[in-house]
Amino acid sequence: MPYREHLQSASDLVTPYSKIRAGFIQIALEKNHQATPYVEEAKALKRAVAKVMTPRTLLTLSELRPALLTAAGVSDKAAAHLQESDQTSAILGLIENFLEPAGDDFVKELVFRFLLTKGDSLGGRMRNLAGLLAERRLTKALIATLSIHGKSFSWLSRKSRSWRTVEADDPDIDSRIRGLHWQVDGQPRTLIYNLTVPVVNKNVDLCLLHAEPDSIDFGSANPSSHHRVKAYIALGELKGGIDPSGADEHWKTANSALDRIRKAFVADVYNPALFFLAAAIATAMAEEIYRQLQTGQLANAANITDDDQLYSFCEWLTSL
């Protein structure tokens, strides 16, 4: 029972207030960091139109057309599907309905509406932020664990989907990783994030396979190792949200996914280890998670805001 290395009761899984507070602050700081380019663009827009005397003059400034479309509420994706005449209509609507009624304050109105659309775009990105931060935290812990135990490893680039060796003193490597490869007793271990598992026919957050990295093809080719049921050593769900009000809902989603995984593999008479990781864990869900650990439905679980639990989990995963 590997979970016994870091869990003695269900209460150990519950996220304390200090960690919730720290998580909220981290996300707030990251949001501000991500918003900085938009603020700078708004400043540049204000400067670019500072000498414009009337809102309709903006129609003649072709170089500012993308910014004007943004202020009109048209996203970059939407703009790519609009003809030039439709784009002009959107900008004209902005001028007639909002900028001209603002009078002498039309430049301020323009900048505010530019930021409003940019903020909506930022909000979409931020909805995935908690999950990305959780992946990065887990990745850092896995890399540290492998390094401390003298295990060499390679990593899968999110962008190029190519495997690379470790670059010395790269503090941002965790933000670019989609997978890790190492060996246990001379046998290959490959961990892939967000993999569509054929036998489950759904995306799974974390999959550890007994496979060489170059044997995994992310297309649908059958020869790929991830099509072999018995290649899977462990699978798990990771929930990075720190808001305690959403914790139970995240657990319900993860529990349904884990049950789906369990049933899919049982149908093939195979039983890989299942695990659950989360940042926000409330009392009721902690008790249910702990019961599943005791009954063997889950092989391991950890609260990733707790260093002891996280690194104990990483020692277990990297030794399987």
Q: Do 85 and 151 fall within a single domain?
A: no
Q: Do 87 and 162 fall within a single domain?
A: no
Residue from 243, 248, 314, 303 nearest 279 by CA? 303
Q: What's the whole-number mean pLDDT along residues 206-229? A: 87
Alpha-carbon distance values, 2 to 98, 266, 280 (Å): 62, 22, 21
Q: Do 108 and 6 fall within a single domain?
A: no
Predicted TM-score of the model (pTM): 0.83
> What CATH number does the domain containing 276 carry?
3.40.91.10
| 264 within 8 A of 291, measured Cβ to Cβ | no
State the average pLDDT for the chain. Answer: 91
pLDDT in tens, 39-65: 999 999 999 999 999 999 999 998 999
Per the structure, the count of domains in the chain is 2
Residue from 152, 187, 193 nearest 174 by CA? 193
In a domain, 41, yes or no: no
| 282 within 8 A of 256, measured Cβ to Cβ | no
Q: Do 152 and 229 fall within a single domain?
A: yes
Domain that holds residue 164: 2-29+128-317
Residue 291 has pLDDT above 80, yes or no: yes
In a domain, 43, yes or no: no
Q: Do 152 and 181 fall within a single domain?
A: yes
SS3 252: helix
Burial (0-12, 13-18, 19+ Cβ within 10 Å), 315: middle
